[in-house]
Amino acid sequence: MTAFLPFNRRHLLAGLGGAAALSLLPQVSFARTVGEQRFILIVLRGGMDGLAAVAPYADRDYAALRGRLALPDPNAQGGVLDLDGFFGLNPALADIHPWYKEGQLLVAHAVATPYRDRSHFDAQDLLENGTVTPHGVASGWLNRALAQLGGDTGGRRLGLAVGQGVPLVLRGAAPVASWSPSPLKEADGDFLDRVVALYADDPMLANALKAGLGSASMADHALNTDADGAMDGAMMDGAPRPKAVRLDPAQLGTATGRLLADTNGPRVAVMDLQGWDTHAQQGTTAGRLAGALGNLSKVLVALRASLGPAWRQTVVAVVTEFGRTARPNGTGGTDHGTATAALLAGGAVQGGRVLADWPGLANDRLYQGRDLAPTQDLRAVMKGILRDHFGLDTGALDKAVFPGGDTPAATRDLIRT
């Protein structure tokens, strides 16, 4: 029977039933081990407008094509924040703009997965499964990478899903934990002892409980929740949980950073941010998109602050399932598109650059006459991170992590040496 134990800041449990089920999965073959490197994947659900997040303001066709959604150049009021004389950052991302000059922010532009249609459902599945076919496999590329890295070391889960469930990108044979804030009251002082005694004669459940309490202890220590009740939560391995408390973006980033900064904590985390499907009232420096970008900025700033010294060994990748149409629609928004921008941030990133084989924005250069044309494969960027940050070899990346189709070569020089 799957159980959920209502512990908060003192008793965070990794889920009896879920942990027991995961223990029945095939054993992982450990090709590598994870050291102090951290990786955080932030998935922007809904399709981010890359031309608005990182505007090619110096492209001669940009202003006319974008119309009322065009951002002014850097010298104008409300203008973009210049990066390299051609691209500029949306002002809603002002707090991370200095990271570019510090060499800790990199933009990959005109990037896309192999997907070329416009369904959120299919595009997100392909983004997460790492193949060339939506719904082609039931596991995610990041879980398969964890399997190569030793996804469960002595009961310690290296992978962490931040939120109510485990997204596809983290599902698979490598056991992972998940964390979300919980509204449940703290259990009585002797409740844990009773639970431990109840399952003492069941080896499978007793071991699962032991592993769960280890994760709970780590999370309690990492979040320091006695000093910050807003971080109360439950670290689980798949058991049902109650409706979560909603954290604001800064709190979400802080909780995630603290968990990964802990010496015995996870090393890889995934979180979702919603609100990127801007069909109407998208805006420029204000409006729906600016609000979403501002939330992203708050998460990133909080991550950096809470990771502390671990930031130096961290890569944060911000990705989305597809971009938006290059031209605005009739309701002040943009529709489902193709290529977009991805952001890499962190002390381990060799940043201060925009990576782009820029296709241009002239009508005959747009994909299907409507979208920013893709010139980089997002899988190549993710492969570059996994190879140079975690040491996965090319064979494992091509055969196990991103199998099928013509797998692109890993992007080079993304990580500091």
Mean pLDDT value across the chain: 85
- pLDDT given for residue 181 in this prediction: 78
Per-residue pLDDT for 13 more than 50? no
- pLDDT given for residue 135 in this prediction: 96
- pLDDT given for residue 1 in this prediction: 28
- Say which range, 197-201, 291-295, 357-361, 374-378, has the weakest mean pLDDT: 197-201
- Say which range, 1-5, 160-164, 354-358, 403-407, has the weakest mean pLDDT: 1-5
Per-residue pLDDT for 415 more than 70? yes
Estimate to the nearest angstrom the gap between the alpha carbon of 160 and the chain centroid: 11
Question: Given its phi and psi angles, is residue 308 left (phi above 0), alpha (psi -120 to 50 degrees) or beta?
Answer: left
User: Burial of 51 by CB count in 10 Å (0-12 exposed, 13-18 middle, 19+ buried)?
Assistant: buried
Q: Where residue 164 falls among pLDDT bands split at 50, 70, 90?
A: confident
For the residues of 30-89, what is the DSSP string, one character each?
A: -S----S-EEEEEEETT---HHHHEE-TTSTTHHHHHGGGPPPPTTSTT--EESSSS-EE
- pLDDT given for residue 219 in this prediction: 53
Q: Which residues have CB under 8 Å from 362's CB, separation 6+?
A: 61
d(Cα 229, Cα 21) in Å, to the nearest integer? 31
d(Cα 251, Cα 414) in Å, to the nearest integer? 28
Quick check: helix, strand or coil at residue 153? strand
More confident residue, 6 or 222: 222
d(Cα 153, Cα 272) in Å, to the nearest integer? 26
Per-residue pLDDT for 363 more than 60? yes
- pLDDT given for residue 125 in this prediction: 98
Q: Which residues have CB under 8 Å from 297's CB, separation 6+?
A: 92, 93, 94, 95, 96
R_g over Cα of the chain: 22
Q: 191-198 vs 203-223: helix axis angle to the nearest 10?
A: 150
Per-residue pLDDT for 60 more than 90? yes
Per-residue pLDDT of 35-45, as tens digits, reads 899 999 999 99
Mean pLDDT of 386-406: 94
- pLDDT given for residue 35 in this prediction: 81
Long-range contacts from 363-371, C-beta under 8 angstroms, 24+ separation: 366/326, 367/338, 367/339, 368/338, 370/325, 370/326, 370/327, 370/337, 371/323, 371/324, 371/325, 371/326, 371/337, 371/338, 371/339
- Say which range, 186-200, 350-364, 374-388, has the weakest mean pLDDT: 186-200
Mean pLDDT of 10-26: 31
d(Cα 352, Cα 404) in Å, to the nearest integer? 33
- pLDDT given for residue 235 in this prediction: 55
Where along the chain do its domains lie? Answer: 16-401
- pLDDT given for residue 186 in this prediction: 53
More confident residue, 65 or 199: 65
Q: Which CATH architecture has domain 16-401?
A: 3-Layer(aba) Sandwich (3.40)
Mean pLDDT of 331-346: 98
Closest of 218, 176, 213 to residue 193, by C-alpha:
213
Per-residue pLDDT for 192 more than 60? no
Per-residue pLDDT for 15 more than 80? no
Mean pLDDT of 145-154: 79
d(Cα 119, Cα 121) in Å, to the nearest integer? 5
- pLDDT given for residue 32 in this prediction: 46
Per-residue pLDDT for 345 more than 70? yes
CB 158 within 8 A of CB 218: no
| Strand spans (E) along 299-395 | 314-320, 340-345, 353-355, 376-377
**Residue-wise burial string across 280-300, b where 16 or more C-beta atoms lie within 10 A, e elsewhere:** eebbbbebbbbebbbbbbbbb
H or E stretch including 107? strand 105-112
Q: Where residue 196 falls among pLDDT bands split at 50, 70, 90?
A: low
Q: Where residue 404 falls among pLDDT bands split at 50, 70, 90?
A: confident
- pLDDT given for residue 202 in this prediction: 74
Quick check: helix, strand or coil at residue 151? coil
Mean pLDDT of 7-26: 32
Residue 408 CA neighbour count, 13 Å, CB half: 20
- Say which range, 97-111, 170-184, 302-316, has the weakest mean pLDDT: 170-184
Mean pLDDT of 187-201: 65
Quick check: helix, strand or coil at residue 160? strand
Per-residue pLDDT for 248 more than 70? yes
d(Cα 47, Cα 115) in Å, to the nearest integer? 13
Estimate to the nearest angstrom the gap between the alpha carbon of 380 and the chain centroid: 16
Per-residue pLDDT for 229 more than 70? no
d(Cα 415, Cα 417) in Å, to the nearest integer? 6
Amino acid code (one letter) for 319: V
d(Cα 223, Cα 309) in Å, to the nearest integer? 16
**Residues shown for the chain:** 417
Mean pLDDT of 195-212: 66
d(Cα 362, Cα 341) in Å, to the nearest integer? 18
Per-residue pLDDT of 115-134, as tens digits, reads 999 999 999 999 999 999 99
d(Cα 220, Cα 274) in Å, to the nearest integer? 27
Mean pLDDT of 4-26: 31
Per-residue pLDDT for 258 more than 50? yes
More confident residue, 169 or 30: 169
- pLDDT given for residue 353 in this prediction: 98
Mean pLDDT of 177-195: 66
